Structure 1
Amino acid sequence: MLNGMKRLALALMMWPAAVLADCPPDPYQGPELDAVVARFPDAPDAGVALDLHNEMWRVLTDAPDQTAQDYLDAGIERLRMGDFPAARSAFDALVEYCPVYAEGYNQRAIISFLEGKYQDALPDIDSALGLLPHHLGALTGKAMTLIALGRTPEAQDILKQALALNPWLPERSLLNSPQGEEL
């Protein structure tokens, strides 16, 4: 835990200097994510789909440079510990430093969702999806957020988009009526 706190403190101390630096765009993340997502429909079973799911998250959490990775890792660690203010600070610094990295927005949206601030989660989710339209975590997060806001018809449309990309998603149980074949 102390190591994580030290990393967060270091990342936050670097924040002013990091803002002056340029976060490099990651030319591989979009194509890498697309390649993983394209394999979901051909997954023969839930086990293979889970392996692809893990590969998807490996791609999504591979930040464009070490500074962005430090912010992301520190934020995720604090989020896991339930320290939402510290996690939000790390993700705010990540988004400020690297506004072209979708996962910073997605992680910040997760905090808003967990805090029950559903309306606050939507702009971050939309930012993540604007950068990576096939971000399945953001898509399912948006569907769950819309459900929490009572916007079920919109949520159903988003779920259908997500399930078109990955028919193995556990969130398929939230779909009101099955699409096509039984999932």
Structure 2
Amino acid sequence: MNRLVLLLSALVAALAFAQPAVGRPDDARLDTLFQLLQGTRDDAVAQRAEAEIWSIWLEHPGGDVLDLMKEGVRNLHAERFEQALADFDRVVATAPDYAEGWNKRANAHYLLGHYDAAVADIRTALSLEPRHFAALAGLGLVYLALDRPDGALKAFEGALAINPHLKGVRAQAADLRTALLGDAL
């Protein structure tokens, strides 16, 4: 059980504080980068492709939105989750088409135990950017918190189908498969 708690904590930290992304699935560069991410076995190449994906997603014309995102992330780091939630509320009100605003607000909801709200925000993020592998991995964490291991496994597998280089997600999915197989016996 301690291993599971450590894995979840590490995954939450990685997902909650990842670079902000804006849902721009129409950016032509993304298709090539996602193909590269899925096709490479080289970790360095995968890391560069992932970094470029985040960079493209980060592009947003509103500096005020980015400032709110930075403040929200600072509040997440400082474990001021209510304030972070308020910051991300302002982000999604200002820029409802900004996928990462919804994803970060989902992170704040998750950390506050507002699981249904987190699921709703993740679904919005995914409607804006269906390839948002961090949102899918976050959905897996929410489903684990809701004691829905089948849903968690499906979400983790969805994230891995997009980005097979998510080692923590891969380990979590393997643990869930083992647990679910054991339950089925």
1:85 is aligned to 2:82:
yes
Give the CA deviation at 1:115. Answer: 2.2
Percentage of matched positions with identical amino acids: 32
Unaligned runs of 5+ in 2: 1-21, 179-185
The number of equivalent residue pairs is 152
Task: Name the counterpart of 2:171.
Answer: 173
User: Distance in 2 between the 1:83 and 1:59 partners?
Assistant: 28
Normalised to the residue count of structure 2, the TM-score between the two structures is 0.73
Please give the per-residue CA displacement for 1:85-137, whole angstroms capped at 9, x wherever unaligned. Answer: 22212111110011111111100111111223222210110110011100111
Counterpart of 1:29, as a letter, is R
Moved over 6 A (4+): none
Map of 2:104 onto structure 1? 107
Aligned to 1:75: 72
Structure 1 counterpart of 2:149, one-letter code: T
CA 1:129–1:136 in 2, change beyond 3 Å: closer, same or farther? Answer: same
**Equivalent of 1:117, from 114, 119, 144?**
114
Name the structure, 1 or 2, with higher relative contact order (CA <8 Å, separation 6+).
Answer: 2
RMSD over aligned CA atoms reads 2.1
Q: What amino acid is aligned across from residue 158 of structure 1 in structure 2?
A: A
Quote the residue 2:24 is aligned against. 29
Structure 2 Cα separation of the partners of residues 74 and 35 of structure 1: 32
CA contact 2:68–2:90 (8 Å) conserved in 1: yes
Alignment CA distance shift 1:41-1:132 (3 Å): same
Mapped to 1, the partners of 2:76 and 2:53 lie a distance apart of: 20
* Shift of residue 41, structure 1, vs aligned partner: 1.4
| Matched letter for residue 173 of structure 1 | A
Equivalent AA in structure 2 for residue 60 of structure 1: W
> How far is 1:174 from its partner?
1.6
Indicate the residue corresponding to 1:49 in structure 2.
46
Counterparts of 1:148 and 1:37, CA distance in 2: 29
TM-score, L = length of structure 1 = 0.74
Residues 106, 138 of structure 1: 8 Å contact kept? yes
The residue that corresponds to 2:93 in the other structure is 96
Query: Aligned pair in 2 of structure 1 residues 101, 35: CA closer, same or farther (>3 Å)?
Result: farther
Matches within 5 A, 1:8-19: none
What is the CA–CA distance in structure 2 between the aligned matches of 1:116 and 1:34, rounded to whole Å? 35
> Could you list the runs of 5+ residues in structure 1 that have no partner in the other structure?
1-25, 179-183
Question: What are the superposed Cα offsets for residues 10-55 of structure 1, whole Å, 9 maximum, x if unpaired?
Answer: xxxxxxxxxxxxxxxx7x8222444432221122222322233333
